[in-house]
Amino acid sequence: MRWLLSLWFMLVFVGVQAQERLSFDEALNRMVLNNRAINGAKYGVDAAYSEYRATQGLRAPQVELMGGYTLMQHDIDIDLGGAKGVVTESLESLINKGVTGGIISPTIAALLGEGLAPIHSADWSYTLQKRDFGFVGTTISVPIYLGGRINIANRVAKLKVESANNLLEGVSSSMITELVERYYGVVLAQEVVKVREEVVEGVKQHLADALAMEEEGMLAHSVILYLEYKLSDAERDYADAKSRSLVAELALQSTLQSADDITPAEGMFITYDLHDIEYYRANALQHNPIIGEAHLAYNIAVEGVNLARGELLPSVVAMGGVSICSHNLSDIAPRWAVGIGASIPLFAGFSGRQRAKSAQYTELSVESMAAKATEDILLLVDREYYTLQNALLGINSSKHSETFAENYYHSALEGFRAGVTSSVELMDARIALAGARVEYLSSVYDYTLALARLLELSGLSDMFMEYKSHSDIVDINTLIE
């Protein structure tokens, strides 16, 4: 029995520990650290920067260690045996003619003949290269001129780093908007659950009072049927609200990459410190990630044109090599060499010129798409700005409706206590107040989400916290008493 109690207390403790109350600031910090989409974009930045560092090394000398071992069928020899006979015969003939002509004496001729003996006995074959040999050496090459392709590669790599950073900003901005949507979505859903629960409890109380009055013969049974119908509606709305709240909580957990239940520690807000529409349009042109990505794509396309043209220009490279060690390598083989190589493209089936034309058309295509993307983003900025303005009007309108519903409910409550208002009218007033309350909270949520989307489109998502700090906090306590 004791171990069952211990297990129960442990489960309760774990359940309590799994509940977390987070402010929006804390949720934002956790999302930045844990969200997979943001982390993936960060790795993209690291990859692009590493590629940029790699292209910077294209100007440096390229040094390679190389080696090889070769085994041939036989040695490479040169045999001068045939020439030996010609040489000795020529020398003997020359000596004989010298004796005949009286130029040299027979004694000297005999001595010279004896001197030819080593030539007769010598092996006149020579091995140029033995059948097995190997070597280890280094080669070095230094680019001198490659038609500007190294400069282009560096500029493109730098543009890709900017593109990766731009993508990270875009992902971060969209995730901030998602966090706003889901964090305050949980706030709204939980508050709606409270409102719907109060309605159910209120209708149950009215139904219990009506049943008591029916027993005393003071109320018609049709009223009971009407209250039961309203109770079923209220219970359905309550169940729907709890389901929506559960889905909203799961969505928030997904954004924060957390397995624990997250409870928002603060409510929604309203800020009236907004700029005019031109402010957001100007910031969108400068900071919107999609517009920035479009311009970067255009710049990369321009470099593509330059690269295609550079491939038609000559290439000049300095190169050299040195043998470090060798085995059976012929002595006549050089141990080092240096030189300069050049190549000039003359004809390759017109492929180079066609690639240059393709790059030019790509540039024009990207330029058109960049202009279209800019127009679309500015249109979306206008739409979200006016959506935000309409949301403010909706907040004011729903606030007035809520105030009216609250006053009407209190009037009905006083009338009920005085016996002037029926329980049905009081219940309808309570349900109307709950609906007005939900409508008001929904309009505040729509406003908050519209603000986040406007800031995202304007490239100002990082200023959401500043807008929040200059806002009025919405009282999320229910108004039903």
* Cβ neighbours, 10 Å, residue 306: 17
Task: Note down pLDDT in tens along the chain; length 481 residues.
Answer: 444 334 434 444 444 445 678 888 999 999 888 888 889 999 999 999 998 888 888 888 888 888 888 888 888 877 665 555 556 666 666 666 666 666 666 666 666 666 666 666 565 666 778 888 888 989 888 888 887 888 888 888 898 998 999 999 999 999 999 999 999 999 999 999 999 998 898 888 878 877 887 787 777 788 788 888 888 988 999 999 999 999 999 999 999 888 888 888 888 888 888 899 999 999 999 999 989 988 888 888 888 888 777 777 888 888 888 888 888 888 778 888 888 888 888 766 666 677 778 878 888 888 888 899 899 999 999 999 999 999 989 888 988 898 898 898 888 888 877 778 777 788 888 888 998 999 999 999 999 999 999 999 999 999 998 888 877 777 655 444 4
Same domain (yes/no): 206, 73: no
CA 10 → CA 3, 17, 126, 262, 279, distances in Å?
10, 10, 94, 20, 55
Do 94 and 155 share a structural domain? no
**φ/ψ (deg, to 5) at 162:** -60, -40
Q: Which of 68, 66, 60, 135 lies closest to 318 in space, CA to CA?
A: 60
77 and 156, same domain (yes or no): no
CA distance 82 to 100: 28
**For residue range 170-187, what is the model confidence (pLDDT) as tens digits?**
999 999 999 999 999 999
Residue 245 lies in a domain: yes
Q: What are phi and psi of 29, to 5 degrees?
A: -65, -40
- Which amino acid, one-letter code, is at 80? L
Cα distances from 403 to residues 115, 449, 472, in angstroms, run 135, 24, 18
CA 363 to chain centre: 24
Q: Extract the tokens encoding 431.
A: 């349900």
CATH of the domain at 164: 1.20.1600.10
Task: Look up residue 474 and give its DSSP letter.
Answer: P
Q: At which of 102, 124, 145 does a domain end?
A: 145
351-417 vs 277-287: helix axis angle to the nearest 10? 140
* DSSP-derived secondary structure letter, 459: T
217 burial type by CB count under 10 A (0-12 exposed, 13-18 middle, 19+ buried): exposed
Look at residues 94, 128, 145 and tell me which one is the last residue of a structural domain. 145
Residue listed under structure tokens 């297990």: 7
* Residue 11 resides in a domain: no
Supply the DSSP string of 396-409, one letter for each residue: HHHHHHHHHHHHHH
How many angstroms separate the CA atoms of 184 and 256, rounded? 14
End position of a domain, from candidates 114, 145, 176: 145
The number of distinct structural domains making up the chain is: 2
Asked if residue 141 and residue 79 are part of one domain, the reply reads yes
CA 192/CA 247 separation, integer angstroms: 14
Q: What is the DSSP string of 167-184?
A: HHHHHHHHHHHHHHHHHH
Structure tokens belonging to residue 147: 């038609």
> Is-contact 459 173, C-beta < 8 A?
yes
